[in-house]
Amino acid sequence: MAIGDILVDVQAVAKHYGDGETRVDALRQVDLQVRAGEVIALLGPSGSGKTTLLNIIGCILDPSSGRVVLDGDPVFDGKWLRSDLRRLRLDKIGFIFQAHNLLPFLTAAENVSLVLDLAGWAPEKGKERAKELLDYLEVGHRAPVKPALLSGGEAQRVAIARALANRPRIILADEPTAALDSKRAQLVMDLLRKLAAEQEACILTVTHDEKIFDRFDRLIHLRDGKLADE
Ligand SMILES: Nc1ncnc2c1ncn2[C@@H]1O[C@H](COP(=O)(O)OP(=O)(O)OP(=O)(O)O)[C@@H](O)[C@H]1O
């Protein structure tokens, strides 16, 4: 596997919620391929299906139909093809959420190493990796601190460390810079770009944040559940 390989391959994916009169077609026959090293923005008006698509790629939501191949592994083809979706998520996918979702009763370092415990790393190795990542993201000095005491930018960098801890190659982010000022938002994006290149990963980000549009390789627009590349 290397830069340029297809990591996310979404084929004719549709998703509807509800049935009959209450039916909402959130995605209609979406095809999308994302390659290792690519940093992509997913844009579109409210309700256009961005979160639905991100959650399907993240294997936390079932498509109604279609096929999804992640990192060369077919994972959905009319039904889930893997019984261990949790394991798949831990191994292949890193999520970064807007409201960074750090656990308030754990320190910054523990928030990161918890993911590695769940993935089966030896505790000492997990702690080492957490420290190394927090240092790399320039929040190592905040490792023993609980999330309530972190600034918005620090908390977001801890959340990024957590998403990257197990070296996933598919990184999904929902408004990762919404809570940050312009300078911090651009720093976070530069960091994500660097990580995508170094770890041969891809990054797919839902965003409305125009100040970071120039940091993406591709802007993909969703409208009424359909994709229009630009
Ligand atoms: N659990 C659900 N049950 C029913 N309808 C839903 C559900 N989740 C989303 N929808 C509908 O599916 C459509 C797409 O929603 P989605 O959240 O994917 O859009 P979005 O582009 O992420 O919107 P936003 O920018 O507001 O977050 C919308 O019409 C929404 O109301």
Structure-block tokens of residue 87: 């394991």
- What is the predicted ipTM? 0.97
Q: Residue with structure tokens 């993406």?
A: 216
Tell me, in angstroms, the distance from the centre of ligand 1 to residue 194's CA. 31
Cα separation of 218 and 230, whole Å?
Answer: 7
Strand order in the sheet with 65-70: 24-35, 6-17, 65-70, 73-77
Phi, psi of 165 (to 5 degrees): -55, -45
Q: Which residues pair with 222 in a beta bridge?
A: 227
Phi, psi of 149 (to 5 degrees): -95, 0
Provide the residue type at 230 as one letter: E
Does ligand 1 lie within 6 Å of residue 98's CB atom?
Answer: no
pLDDT tens digit string along 65-82? 999 999 999 999 999 998
pLDDT tens digit string along 74-106? 999 999 998 888 888 888 999 887 666 899 999
Tell me, in angstroms, the distance from the centre of ligand 1 to residue 36's CA. 28
pLDDT tens digit string along 169-199? 999 998 888 777 788 788 888 888 988 898 8
Tell me, in angstroms, the distance from the centre of ligand 1 to residue 26's CA. 7
Tell me, in angstroms, the distance from the centre of ligand 1 to residue 65's CA. 17
Dihedral (CA of 180, 99, 91, 42) sign: negative
Q: What is the pLDDT of residue 227?
A: 92
Binning pLDDT at 50, 70 and 90, where does residue 1 land? low
| Distance spanning both ends of the chain, measured CA to CA | 27
What residue owns the CA closest to ligand 1's atom 2?
17
Strand blocks (E) in the chain: 6-17, 24-35, 39-43, 65-70, 73-77, 93-96, 170-174, 202-206, 218-223, 226-229
In the chain, the domains with their CATH numbers are 6-18+25-103+167-229 (3.40.50.300)
Does ligand 1 lie within 6 Å of residue 49's CB atom?
Answer: yes
Cα separation of 209 and 162, whole Å?
Answer: 23
What residue owns the CA closest to ligand 1's atom 11?
26
